[in-house]
Amino acid sequence: MFTILEFHNISSQGICWTNMPAKRFAGVLDLLQAETHIVAPGDLERCLNSRNNSERPHVMLSFDDGYEEVYSQAYPIMKERGLAGMVSIVAGYVGKRNLWDIMGGHLDHLGWHQLEELLAAGWSICSHTMTHPDLKRCTEDRLIWELEASKRLLEDRLGLEIPAVAYPFGRFNSRVLAAARRAGYRIGFTVGAEPWHGPRGPLVTIRVPVYQIDSDSLILAKVAPDGPLKRFDALKNRFFNRLSLLTSFAHRHRFKGIPKQP
């Protein structure tokens, strides 16, 4: 079994369920290293395209939104343990303060030099669009711009291919998938928070959120086969996802049409 776990800001700032203090994060890593096999982000496509027959669950670590604490807090803790992760980047906010999230505590985003250091240490990055809107609510022009401009900016500044996009709030539909495919993405990340009856190809790849309030047993249930505790976790995650949509409504009011790079 292969699971992509999704963290947010590794700090005591931000809203209570998405932030995770560094000490707790270190404990979660110790738990995962003892009970699972943590794969490098460079193995993502291989893991998605193959079956894991190992008794130990395979896990990859990802970080949503690209906050500066990924570099200052998560990176050194993971480096001590020989681990690397993937971080999704809101391309229009690299090196800037978070102004798009009314619930995010106005945190700072990673800068270009920090991203370059993470990449050199074996990390990977994916696009998280330009300004983090709900892509399902975007006009066609805005949807294309969010997907294509973010990919182009990251590739131009960092000198590497960006094959994956993380849909903000995990929100997508067939129109978003078609636009992501046309933009050149091979992988798209969601969080499984809304019904989807279409094909489950690489452009519909689920990441499982990890929250500060999650117990050790609940974290292990996230990477295990289906069971009551895992189903409870899925319900909890859908509830938190709905709360996060408050940001998308505020974002829609703030950014109309195609904005200039913030």
123-163 pLDDT tens trace: 999 999 999 999 999 999 999 999 999 999 999 999 999 99
DSSP state letter for 97: B
Question: What's the confidence (pLDDT) of residue 253?
Answer: 46
Q: How confident is the model at residue 196 (pLDDT cuts 50, 70, 90)?
A: confident
In the chain, the percentage of residues whose pLDDT exceeds 70 is 89
Separation CA 170–CA 204 (nearest Å): 10
Is the pLDDT at 108 greater than 70? The verdict is yes
Q: Please give the Cα distance from 85 to 121 (Å, whole number).
A: 10
Nearest-angstrom CA–CA distance, 132 and 202: 21
Domains of the chain (ranges, CATH numbers): 2-254 (3.20.20.370)
The Cα–Cα gap between 205 and 167 comes to 10
Write out the two tokens for 196: 């989807």
Q: Check: CB of residue 8 under 8 Å from CB of residue 231.
A: no
| C-alpha span between 79 and 29 (Å, rounded) | 11
CB 194 within 8 A of CB 234: no
Residue 40 DSSP one-character state: P
* Coil vs helix vs strand at 207: strand
| CB 25 within 8 Å of CB 77 | yes
Question: How confident is the model at residue 147, as a pLDDT?
Answer: 98
What token pair was written down for 163? 């094959």
The reported pTM is 0.91
Average pLDDT (195-199) is 76
Q: Note the pLDDT of residue 55.
A: 80
Question: Where is mean pLDDT largest: 84-93, 95-104, 204-213, 220-229?
Answer: 84-93
Least confident of 85-94, 116-125, 159-168, 200-209: 200-209
Tens digits of residue pLDDT in 10-39: 987 665 567 899 999 999 999 999 999 999
Per DSSP, the three-state class of 126 is strand
DSSP string over 2-33: EEEEEE---SS-SSTTT---HHHHHHHHHHHH
C-alpha distances (whole Å) from 254 to each of 21, 39, 100, 199, 251 are: 31, 39, 9, 34, 5
Give the CA angle between residues 40, 72, 44 to the nearest 5°: 15
